[in-house]
Amino acid sequence: MSKLRPILNLSYCRYYSVKQATKKLPIISCKRPEFNHFEGQSYSKFDGIPLASKGWLSNKAKGDYFVIYGNANKKEEKQVYRKSFEEIGVAPSLIEVMSEQGFSLPTAIQTKAIPSILSGTNVVMTAETGCGKTLAYLLPIFQHILEWKPSIKEEFNSPLAVVITPSRELASQVGEVAQNIAQRLNLNVTTLVGGRTKQKMLNPPIEYCDILVTTLGAYSKLVTTGIFKINNVHHVVLDEADTLLDDTFIDKMAHLLKKFPIQHKVQIQTPPVGCQVSLVSATMPHELPAAVNAFVDPESLKTITTSNIHRVLPHVPQKFLRLGKAQKPLALLKEVQADVNQNRAVMIFSNQTSTCDFVSMFLNENNIECININGRMAVALKMGKFEMYKSGKVNVISCTDIASRGLDTTRTHHIINYDFPLYTADYIHRCGRTGRIGSPDNCYITNFVAWPREIQQVQRIELSVREHSQLPRVNANIKRIIEDRIVKMAGSV
């Protein structure tokens, strides 16, 4: 009997800890309550971690679901002291601008990043989507420009700071944010995107520019031809740096940035000497590519992150619904009709352009006005359609991952992943289109899960939440992943 006592005690302890945990709302709520997961709940390393999605590869699992409530017990948390803009060194003129725009206190990432950038430090800034990263680098840049500009000889096409983005849509979005601040400070912001680069080379723009927001391709060509000068550039920002540093862009990026005098740390003086760099994104590989060494000393990069980096959004419920392929259209119609009835804005993501087009056509045929945007559309058409959604003329938009980064989606109430994304970084960015600063209350996400690869991805996400760990395989270098997979497949033939 004495040999059995430790086992009985262990069982009692397990029962007691679970009973204590059930007094709180579940972090994961499942159709089958025995799979619910509570805050502070742990699992025996011998028994393994039970997953609600474990049996989803079977067709019998259709109709099963679970919901992740990341901060189900948020009301029980104590208020944390938040520093003011003044305390982190922001100038009074910029504090006044922030106040006019409705920002009274900096966000967590702004509190961490602004002092470092103001001090001349090169930074890698990685934080969850919608938490204020754009202002985290724009505010110190504007502050430096206000200090430096009186002592720097003004030249045409010679910016003091350059923000480089991987897409025209993101460049336009960042340019709009920067312009809203600049016009109150009597500074000049220029947005330069591709599409008419040859025309600009034949008929060069001649303008004074304090901050240039641009795409890599267009800026690289105009710097090479000498139309834009780099001698006065003291700030370079790579926005969505994970994409700009992947195999698609890295060679051109490194070739361009080698021309800038990027320092280990810029001496903040008037006029300044050297150039500092900021790498910014919601997702970032754990190891930067070796090509980064060509333009910046990795030892000079200070990593700035938040506690929610590479995790599911803690403040937005996310429902994972196991469906069959044929069940998806009807489930979509039910979800979207509920949003339309409540006048809620909804974004629907698909993995392919053909599916994106089908979703739009299907909803319109069922008397739900829906527009669609994808990467194959001309930029003007794409932005025109998105403006209809952004302005509230249309509440439903069907899109591919082209809309998962850089667009102003603060009015989005509901995200539907009609196709579940195959890469973790894409899931993070799609979900980040809602629950942002300025978004409506009670935002939520619905995921349709049908195919084996989607189910495996969902299982990895569920496991990370139960383990309270970062999401696995957060790597935006999709091109390299695909190429590696092709090589492996070829080798196995």
In a domain? residue 109: yes
pLDDT tens for residues 90-102? 999 999 999 999 8
* Confidence band for 122, pLDDT divided at 50, 70 and 90: very high
How many percent of the chain have pLDDT more than 90?
57
437 — alpha (psi -120 to 50), left (phi > 0) or beta? beta
In a domain? residue 113: yes
Check whether residue 326 and residue 384 sit in a common domain: yes
Check whether residue 246 and residue 368 sit in a common domain: no
pLDDT tens for residues 398-413? 999 988 876 778 899 9
CA distances from 90 to 67, 116, 136, 327 (A): 40, 12, 11, 53
* Confidence band for 492, pLDDT divided at 50, 70 and 90: very low
Q: Are strands 26-30 and 37-38 parallel, antiparallel or unpaired?
A: antiparallel
Provide the domain limits for residue 393: 11-70+312-467
Which residues neighbour 483 within 8 Å (Cβ) at sequence distance 6 or greater? 247
Check whether residue 52 and residue 142 sit in a common domain: no
In a domain? residue 237: yes
* Confidence band for 78, pLDDT divided at 50, 70 and 90: low
Closest CA to 155 of 122, 131, 178, 188: 188
Last residue of a domain, one of 305, 320, 339: 305
What sign results for the dihedral spanned by CA atoms 69, 73, 77, 82?
positive
Whole-structure pTM value? 0.79
* Confidence band for 364, pLDDT divided at 50, 70 and 90: very high
Check whether residue 106 and residue 255 sit in a common domain: yes
DSSP class of residue 360 equals H
Bridge partner residues of 161 (DSSP): 211, 235
Check whether residue 46 and residue 103 sit in a common domain: no
Average pLDDT for residues 325-330, to the nearest whole number?
Answer: 97
Phi and psi dihedrals of 396, rounded to 5?
-125, 130
Q: Which regions of 329-442 does DSSP assign to beta strands (E)? A: 345-349, 371-373, 396-399, 412-417
Last residue of a domain, one of 271, 305, 339: 305
In a domain? residue 488: no
Average pLDDT for residues 133-153, to the nearest whole number?
Answer: 94
Report which listed range, 68-72, 177-181, 286-290, is most confident: 177-181
Check whether residue 248 and residue 116 sit in a common domain: yes
In a domain? residue 479: no
Q: Are strands 37-38 and 301-305 parallel, antiparallel or unpaired?
A: unpaired
The domain tally of the chain equals 2
In a domain? residue 477: no
Q: CB pairs under 8 A, 24+ apart, for 43-46?
A: 43/466, 44/14
Q: Computed over its alpha carbons, how large is the radius of gyration of the chain?
A: 25
ω into 159 cis (within 30 of 0): no
Average pLDDT for residues 300-318, to the nearest whole number?
Answer: 86
pLDDT tens for residues 161-197? 999 999 888 898 899 999 999 999 999 999 998 766 6
Check whether residue 66 and residue 99 sit in a common domain: no
Among 55-64, 278-287, 336-345, name the one with the lowest average pLDDT: 278-287
In a domain? residue 342: yes
CATH number, domain with residue 37? 3.40.50.300
Check whether residue 166 and residue 292 sit in a common domain: yes
Last residue of a domain, one of 252, 271, 305: 305
In a domain? residue 131: yes
CA distances from 16 to 12, 233, 360 (A): 6, 62, 51
Check whether residue 266 and residue 349 sit in a common domain: no
Check whether residue 35 and residue 155 sit in a common domain: no
Among 49-63, 68-82, 431-445, name the one with the lowest average pLDDT: 68-82
Check whether residue 275 and residue 390 sit in a common domain: no
Check whether residue 153 and residue 288 sit in a common domain: yes
